[in-house]
Amino acid sequence: MKDKQINTASSISTYTLNNFPNGVFITNTSKEIVYCNDYFSTELGWEPGELIGKSVDIIFTLASKVFYQTYLIPTLLHEKICEEMQLTMINGKGIRIPITVNVKSDNAGLIYWSFFNASKRDKLYEELIQARETLEQQAEQLKLLASTDELTTLLNRREMKYRSILAIELAARSHYSVALIQLDIDHFKKVNDMYGHPEGDRVLKELGIRLKEFARKTDLVSRFGGEEFLILLPDTNKQDAILFCQRLHQLIGEIKAGDYYTKASIGLTISRPDSIFKTLYTEVDNALYKAKESGRNRTELYNKTYKKP
């Protein structure tokens, strides 16, 4: 590139500018390129001198041209400088290249551009975004594993306890009651003994799937221990909870274990304004004990006389 091509910016040492590892060019008030350094021919595939006298439009994509008119020019008029703009340039072979640009204008209306090829940085960003998405997915999976029971995919004991405490607190503040239900499959040991452990597992799994389908999204459904399931129904009164338990018996009665249909005993309690999880769990456990003691395959609503020995 010869000094004479610079016209109005003849004081610039072209030798120095041609050795910079980034692009430098100058445009005038008519948007014409009046100077560009060798970076355009060595790195961007333009013929030497090819761009001189051409509109800057030929080296930018449509979006970058719009940006030029609507943001860059007004900013330069106002502030004389514009930094770290992300534009897309088109090289001599028509390939789009992301660039980061700093631009400055002088009083004569010349605009001085310097930019670097940001392809590598964009690739790095993409890799970082990908890595972040993978980490987020893994964190999500870990969270799920930590809060669910592996066999049934219902909430596990720890998560159920945590969410129940919150749900009971919320109910007390909102002046409504929750129903706590403890369900225990009857004579489940016999299922394992007669048909094997895998059949026992299958029954637990099927019950988990059916409970999930049966419950509302706002209900908390968990496998609280071996063949014991704990369910919390928010905003539920005694009548509705009893109805729910009747339907539970029907649902359990449809699940086959070996040659027999499954049955379960259910303990039920309804919260009061001062209820806490620990008390409700003890109540429901006592009610379940009563249900087992009274012949199984039934629901018992907690009452104060029930005490597990």
Ligand X SMILES: Nc1nc2c(ncn2[C@@H]2O[C@H](COP(=O)(O)OP(=O)(O)OP(=O)(O)O)[C@@H](O)[C@H]2O)c(=O)[nH]1
Return residues touching ligand X (CB under 6 A): 151, 184-189, 192, 197, 200-201, 204, 226-227, 292, 296
Q: Please state, in angstroms and rounded to a whole number, the distance separating the CA atoms of residues 250 and 267.
A: 16
Q: 36: which strand partners?
A: 25
Q: Looking at 133, 227, 254, 300, which residue is catalytic?
A: 227
Token readout for 281 is 């769990």
The strand pair at 228-233 and 81-90 is best described as: unpaired
Instruction: Considering the complex, state which of residue 14 and residue 222 has its C-beta at the smaller distance from ligand X.
Output: 222
Residue 223 near residue 209, CB atoms below 8 Å: no
Q: Please state, in angstroms and rounded to a whole number, the distance separating the CA atoms of residues 219 and 235.
A: 10
Min CB(226)–ligand X separation in Å: 3
Instruction: Considering the complex, state which of residue 161 and residue 298 has its C-beta at the smaller distance from ligand X.
Output: 298
Catalogue the E-assigned strands of the chain.
23-27, 33-36, 81-90, 96-105, 111-117, 179-185, 220-225, 228-233, 256-257, 260-261, 264-270, 299-301
Other C-beta atoms lying within 10 Å of the C-beta of residue 254: 10
Min CB(200)–ligand X separation in Å: 2
Min CB(262)–ligand X separation in Å: 10
Instruction: Considering the complex, state which of residue 152 and residue 164 has its C-beta at the smaller distance from ligand X.
Output: 152
- Could you give the angle at the alpha carbon of 159 between the alpha carbons of 158 and 161, nearest 5°? 65
Min CB(166)–ligand X separation in Å: 27
The strand pair at 179-185 and 228-233 is best described as: antiparallel
CA atoms within 13 A on the CB side of 212: 14
Give the residue closest to ligand X by C-beta: 200
Is residue 293 part of the annotated active site? The answer reads: no
Min CB(219)–ligand X separation in Å: 22
Instruction: Considering the complex, state which of residue 201 and residue 240 has its C-beta at the smaller distance from ligand X.
Output: 201
Instruction: Considering the complex, state which of residue 96 and residue 190 has its C-beta at the smaller distance from ligand X.
Output: 190
Total residue length of the chain: 309
Please give the positions annotated as active site: 227
